[in-house]
Amino acid sequence: QLRKKIPDGLKPLPGPKPLPIIGNVLEVGYNPHLSLTAMTKRYGHVYQIHIGMRPVLVISGIDAVRQALIKQGEEFSGRPNLYSFQYINDGKSLAFSTDQAGVWRTRRKLAMNALRSFTSLSGNSAKYSCRLEEHISKEGEYLVERLKSVMDASGSFDPFRHIVVSVANVICGMCFGKRYSHDDQQLLSLVNLSDEFGQVVGSGNPSDFIPFLQFLPSNTMKKFVDINARFNTFVQKIVREHYASFDKNNIRDITDALIDHCEDRKLDENANVQVSDEKVVGIVNDLFGAGFDTISTALSWAVAYMVAYPEIQERLHQQMKENVGLDRIPCLADKSRLPLLEAFILEIFRHSSFLPFTIPHCTSKDTSLNGFFIPKDTCVFINQWQVNHDPELWKDPASFVPERFLNADGTEVNKMDAEKVMIFGLGRRRCIGEAIGRTEVFLFMAILVQRLQFQEMPGQPLDMTPEYGLTMKHKRCQLRASLRPRK
């Protein structure tokens, strides 16, 4: 990138001095959320690093983040042209591709409409308030049964291994009208081995920025390319089946809704022709991918925190027993009766910050932030982890204290504090699955808290150190679960 002349009145960005070729990769290291947070002490909330030869703007601090993503949203909502992104969804991803702003906006709107209409459809029985609640509720009950039978058979279980199938089934239900058995090998091989995905697309992966690394053999990169290819094949097969059995008068799921949109457009001469059918139907690939990895990571952390803080686990169960009871399955309407659970989930989002950076952004024109000049096409990292651990926002940020979100008598969550937690991004690129994500984490957790008690395996202490990636996971582990009596 050629150095541009800095306009009068603006300052150059501060930041560490880069080494030739590798830039600051050594200082960034294997835990960019920690190293880039530590750098704010020296350089402030808006500074620049170099990964390889490429300058990257790092934004921290809730005010600077809000300024960039909300007030100056127009200039800060592009995506950079990174090497690894071309493999995601055949380069046609809604979340990762460098689509022109108009194309991205149209696709985003379509995706939001499809999600909204299929989550809020009324359930198949009066028992459920909406289709989403029905799916989660049923999968939650299957999950409890499944964990019980795994415990009976082998005495321990790996939480991620089972949670991910249940969560994938919820999004499969909405996107494809399908559910899979917990032993389905094809689904398991897709959803259970996806760690490489997050490792490669997490902010700061050097081979995205240092061109020669792309030509070196890399095992992680090979697995990443392979996962994406398998993922695309899996979804394409289902989409083909949907085309073959498509009936305009019976829109069964999100895939049908997207196909229907393409059919409608063919009849409409004034339609926006910029967006190809492939890009419309390809949206389902993003929804499926984003819909299982994030939520299963959140739930797996939730189980891990319950094990790490058994006293909180007991209080969660106690509140369930007193305010909902144990003789019926909890539902979405119970949320206001379970403030400790809501606070616990917020504290997991904050404390783990398992999505430490948003997906990288990119500037769409020359701009400035806090008086610093920022050229067009600058890659931007948004440090959510820093916002969630900023001592100016949070008292004792390193401690895990769900009560920080509750009022004095523990009956209500403080909305202002809840909004300070940053895990879904902000502004124009803000996650479109946020409502689904929050709903799923709440209802699955309510079901687990009511029916099961989780514990460490003797002699196998839980390792809560996160492994860096787009979504950070704790190490895979074996836990114990025992069924709680119904009454």
Contacting positions for ligand HEM (CB under 6 A):
94-95, 108, 111, 115, 286-287, 290-291, 294-295, 298, 355, 358-359, 423-425, 429, 431-433, 436-437, 441
- Residue numbers belonging to the annotated binding site: 431
Q: Phi then psi for 460, rounded to 5 degrees?
A: -125, 75
Distances from the Cα of 17 to the Cαs of 24, 48, 54, 376, in angstroms? 7, 10, 13, 21
- Residue numbers belonging to the annotated binding site for heme: 431
In the bound state with ligand HEM, the residue whose beta carbon lies nearer, of 51 and 298, is: 298
In the bound state with ligand HEM, the residue whose beta carbon lies nearer, of 109 and 365, is: 109
CB of 391 to ligand HEM, least distance (A): 23
In the bound state with ligand HEM, the residue whose beta carbon lies nearer, of 334 and 440, is: 440
Interstrand relation of 46-51 and 452-456 (parallel, antiparallel or unpaired):
unpaired
User: What are 315's two structure tokens?
Assistant: 């209080």
Altogether, the residues listed in the chain come to a count of 487
CB of 235 to ligand HEM, least distance (A): 14
Q: SS3 string of 19-87?
A: ECCCECHHHHCCCHHHHHHHHHHHHCCEEEEEECCEEEEEECCHHHHHHHHHHCHHHHCECCCCHHHHH
CB of 175 to ligand HEM, least distance (A): 8
Nearest residue to ligand HEM, by Cβ distance, number only: 433
**Contact residues for 411 (Cβ-Cβ < 8 A; gap 6+):** 339
Contact at 8 Å (CB) between 54 and 23?
yes
Q: Which of 84, 94, 151, 468 shows the shortest CA–CA distance to 279?
A: 94
**Contact residues for 276 (Cβ-Cβ < 8 A; gap 6+):** none
Element spanning 361, H or E = strand 361-362
In the bound state with ligand HEM, the residue whose beta carbon lies nearer, of 55 and 437, is: 437
In the bound state with ligand HEM, the residue whose beta carbon lies nearer, of 208 and 286, is: 286
CB of 291 to ligand HEM, least distance (A): 4
CB of 432 to ligand HEM, least distance (A): 5
Query: Computed from CA positions of residues 374, 429, 167, 163, in that sequence, does the dihedral angle turn out positive or negative?
Result: positive
> Please, is 142 exposed, middle or buried when counting C-beta atoms within 10 Å of its C-beta (0-12, 13-18, 19+)?
middle
Contact at 8 Å (CB) between 420 and 64?
no
Contact at 8 Å (CB) between 400 and 309?
yes
Distance (Å, whole) CA 209 – CA 215:
12
CB of 297 to ligand HEM, least distance (A): 8
Element spanning 341, H or E = helix 339-352
Q: Which of 17, 174, 81 shows the shortest CA–CA distance to 364?
A: 81
User: What are 25's two structure tokens?
Assistant: 């990769």
Return the number of other C-beta atoms located less than 10 Å from residue 207's C-beta: 20
In the bound state with ligand HEM, the residue whose beta carbon lies nearer, of 402 and 433, is: 433
CB of 68 to ligand HEM, least distance (A): 10
In the bound state with ligand HEM, the residue whose beta carbon lies nearer, of 373 and 385, is: 385
CB of 194 to ligand HEM, least distance (A): 14
Give the distance from CA 59 to its chain's centroid: 19
CB of 135 to ligand HEM, least distance (A): 12
In the bound state with ligand HEM, the residue whose beta carbon lies nearer, of 15 and 356, is: 356
CB of 117 to ligand HEM, least distance (A): 13
Distance (Å, whole) CA 369 – CA 383:
15
Contact at 8 Å (CB) between 286 and 95?
yes
CB of 425 to ligand HEM, least distance (A): 3
In the bound state with ligand HEM, the residue whose beta carbon lies nearer, of 295 and 307, is: 295
Interstrand relation of 367-369 and 372-374 (parallel, antiparallel or unpaired):
antiparallel
